[in-house]
Structure 1
Amino acid sequence: MSSEQIIVQQPEERANQLILLFHGVGDNPISMGEIGKFFAVSFPQAQVISVGSPDICDFGRGFQWFSVQGVTEQNRQPRVDAAMPAFVQIVRDWQQKTGVTPEHTTLVGFSQGTIMALESTKVEEHLASRIVAFSGRFSSLPEIPITAATVVHFIHGEQDPVINPFQSKSAAERLKSLGCDCTLDLQAGMGHGLDSHMINTAIAHLKNYQPKSHQH
């Protein structure tokens, strides 16, 4: 089953970077497309796409990357792993369509979309150079370093009742302990959602943060 994908911005000339946004469970690409507009304004030469999951949500409405019915710490990982090939293929397809390499690709996730983006670093040597991890987590913390070519920006609401901000804290600590490149920003007073400050924090990191792999 194919997924709905919303082109938020397609530059007139060839895109110099690719920004893909991935929604949370029970949501759709329209809402993340609204978030994508902020990135489009800041990066006018970027192709910005809000990607919908190919799977209809098995409760309520919207779509899901994997089912959360009866999800536990034990069974989450197999569900993520089963969904990962389709997720990776979507990213590779857009890289091929736009001619943009992984070095110039950014994955922006929210909640379950963040889980998929983070977990992709375990199975793909180099899918993207940046991951903006809004309000998410690893399904299970990595045991070995992710590629040095990928920088992760964790951004999480301090009052998130759905995915505890401890998940982003512990993920950032684990990546740093493995020698990986990442940042962590916690938004005071924010629950499970996004506000303009969180989005602007992400954009500032994408514009200004110098990856350790580029420093000599």
Structure 2
Amino acid sequence: MTISQNAFLAILLHGVGSNGDDLEPLGKSWQARVPNVTFVSPNAPERCDFSSGYQWFSVAGVTPENRPARVSAARPAFDAVISSIVEEHGFSDKLDRVVFVGFSQGTIMSLDAVASGRWPVAGVIGFSGRLASEKPLTPAKDTKILLVHGTSDSVIPSWETEKAETELKALGMQVETVIEPGLGHTISIGGADRACGFLETLVKA
């Protein structure tokens, strides 16, 4: 597939129990500002344990202690989904023009993908997530990261984003964070706008 010289690919990665259709409107809302970006919003590879949606890994009985192993176990299926999309759209040798946009569990998998060094993409935009990867980490240090989180998130506390920022910066990664007062486990209009601005900067770099 032939792609234009300034084209980018953004892969939107949903949270547990959701599906690709839930994040598709986010890409559509950004399209006018970043017309050179193709947005793809796949389903996670597994049916969810507790709903009609999908999951990147099971959260049944998940604990802080066993979560990293579950993230690692989910890597092959995650990588298969990403590889298929990247290949289909002609970006296999252009990962510096690929961006991951995650929400919740999608953010966890996106951060793991770059922190482990498996996917040296241009950037990660992560909403309401955490860094839950097994150590040691060997990150793709050229990847730029924006993390957005609300202080009233009852699913994943916002301190997880602050902790992720500290750990990723210690590894030499470039990380920006936006902590939104009073916001729950969702994406606000303001957060989406800030994220789109970050994406604009990436694609114009």
Q: TM-score, normalised by structure 1?
A: 0.85
TM-aligned CA distance change 1:93 to 1:127, over 3 Å: farther
Measure, in 2, the Cα distance between the counterparts of 1:51 and 1:125: 19
Which amino acid is 2:98 matched to? T
Residue 7 of structure 2 aligns with which residue? 16
CA deviation after TM superposition for structure 1 residue 55, in Å:
0.7
CA deviation after TM superposition for structure 1 residue 204, in Å:
1.0
Task: Mark the runs of 5 or more structure 1 residues left unpaired by the alignment.
Answer: 1-12
The question of 1:77 aligning with 2:77 is answered no
Measure, in 2, the Cα distance between the counterparts of 1:19 and 1:158: 27
Which amino acid is 2:184 matched to? G
Contact 1:141-1:171 within 8 A present in 2 as well: no
Contact 1:126-1:150 within 8 A present in 2 as well: no
Q: How does 1:60-139 map to 2 (within 5 A)?
A: 60-100=51-91, 101-139=94-132
Count of paired positions: 200
Per mean C-alpha deviation after superposition, the further-off stretch among 64-73 and 84-93 is 84-93
* CA deviations over 1:92-131 (Å, ceiling 9, x no partner): 2222222221101000000001001111124334441100
Residue 160 of structure 2 aligns with which residue? 167
Q: TM-score, normalised by structure 2?
A: 0.89
Indicate which of 27, 32, 39 corresponds to 1:41: 32
% identical aligned pairs: 33
Contact 2:130-2:161 within 8 A present in 1 as well: yes
Which amino acid is 1:157 matched to? G
Q: Which runs of 4+ in 1 moved over 6 A?
A: none
Task: Mark the runs of 5 or more structure 2 residues left unpaired by the alignment.
Answer: none
Measure, in 2, the Cα distance between the counterparts of 1:42 and 1:195: 18
Q: How does 1:147-162 map to 2 (within 5 A)?
A: 147-162=140-155
* CA deviations over 1:23-78 (Å, ceiling 9, x no partner): 10111111111112123222112111111112110112211111101101111112
Contact 1:17-1:105 within 8 A present in 2 as well: yes
CA deviation after TM superposition for structure 1 residue 89, in Å:
2.2
Which amino acid is 1:34 matched to? P
TM-aligned CA distance change 1:71 to 1:127, over 3 Å: same
